[in-house]
Amino acid sequence: MIYHVIDAEGPIYEDVLVRRIERHHGFQRAGNQIEAIIVDLPEYRRGKAKEPVGIFYWPNRTAKDEFTPARYLDR
């Protein structure tokens, strides 16, 4: 389920991912253990990027490097 959400909606903000999973399972709020599992699991099979506003998970079908802003490109 976690991978499906990331692949369908990614890049997706970590907090949004947690809310999507908890709502699908009928939880009002994810507990600390559930949230830890949700945010740790994708690290092994999906891209993860820490941005100034938070952590984003990237879909399997894309590479984060494809979306690198122009200011980071070498000239």
Tokens of 36: 């830890």
Give the pLDDT confidence score for residue 70 in this predicted structure: 45
pTM for this prediction: 0.69
Q: Which DSSP state fits 52?
A: T
How many domains is the chain partitioned into structurally? 1
What does each C-alpha distance from 34 to 16, 38, 62, 72 come to in angstroms? 14, 6, 27, 35
Q: Output the CA torsion 31→32→33→38 (10° steps).
A: 90
Give the pLDDT confidence score for residue 1 in this predicted structure: 85
Domain that holds residue 35: 2-72
Query: Going residue by residue through the chain (75 aa), what tens digit of pLDDT does each one get?
Result: 888 888 888 888 999 998 888 888 877 766 787 888 788 877 777 878 888 988 898 887 655 555 555 444 444
Give the pLDDT confidence score for residue 64 in this predicted structure: 53
